[in-house]
């Protein structure tokens, strides 16, 4: 998914971790980090996620289960200089790796790191233009409850964007429907993954 396998135990235990790929330590040299990012960008087309999220300078977004930041860096570029990305994970050491990647890109000040519980979003209510779940929602102990809680963190008209492998699509869509989310758009930018954009159904 986001890179090669390293922290397998984190992946098994992490309800908010992306995939083993996302928890790999960035390579030592700047050229190795750049090569890793380039491979990921070519394979996964993260610019399509940014486009689906409809974010830009000044937006406030969350990257749930951000791991080592292969997607976070794209979100940070999109919202800079006046926006903010809240990057969450259940493991603080992984977020330290994310910080290294962001600092190398000159984007460290745009991102706030948060260590969160596996079963809770850990996001402040009413503050987000978009919340991204990339290869993470199938780890949640109770996806419906998690999504319902996360919906409260959206600004009016805000979006929850779920991206995952195609074989997780039915599970993701079912949980979103049960959580009261409304599907606004769906795409398949690469053959292996879907992107689904949801809004929260207004309370009656």
- Using one digit for the tens of pLDDT, what is the confidence trace for 103-143? 989 998 999 999 999 899 999 999 999 999 999 999 999 99
- Which residues, including other chains, have CB under 8 Å from residue 135's CB and lie 6 or more apart? 1, 2, 18, 19, 22, 65, 163, 164, 165
Q: What residues make up the domain containing 70?
A: 8-200
Alpha-helix runs per DSSP H in the chain: 8-13, 30-44, 46-53, 72-79, 92-104, 143-151, 169-178
- Per-residue confidence band for 19, with pLDDT thresholds at 50, 70 and 90: very low
1 in any annotated domain: no
d(CA 61, CA 161): 11
Give domain status of residue 64, yes or no. Answer: yes
What mean pLDDT is reported for the chain?
A: 86
Residue 100 has pLDDT above 80, yes or no: yes
Q: Give a yes or no: residue 18 inside a domain.
A: yes
CATH number reported for the structural domain that contains residue 74 in this entry? 3.40.50.150
């Amino acid at each position: 998914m986001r890179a090669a396998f390293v922290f397998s135990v984190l992946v098994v235990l992490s309800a908010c971790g992306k995939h083993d790929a996302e928890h790999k330590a960035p390579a030592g040299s700047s050229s190795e980090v750049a090569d890793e990012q380039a491979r990921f960008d070519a394979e996964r087309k993260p610019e399509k996620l940014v486009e689906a999220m409809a974010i830009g300078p000044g937006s406030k977004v969350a990257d749930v289960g951000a791991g080592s930041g292969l997607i976070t860096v794209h979100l940070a570029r999109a919202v800079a200089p006046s926006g903010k990305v809240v990057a969450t994970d259940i493991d603080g050491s992984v977020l330290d790796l994310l910080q290294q990647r962001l600092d190398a890109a000159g984007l460290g000040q745009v991102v706030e790191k948060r260590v969160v519980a596996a079963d809770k979003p850990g996001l402040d209510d009413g503050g987000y233009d978009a919340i991204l779940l990339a290869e993470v929602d199938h780890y949640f102990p109770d996806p419906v409850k998690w999504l319902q809680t996360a919906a409260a963190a959206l600004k009016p008209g805000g979006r929850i964007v779920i991206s995952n492998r195609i074989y997780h699509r039915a599970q993701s869509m079912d949980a979103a429907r049960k959580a009261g989310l409304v599907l606004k758009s769906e795409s398949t930018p690469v053959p292996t993954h879907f992107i689904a954009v949801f809004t929260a159904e207004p309370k009656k």
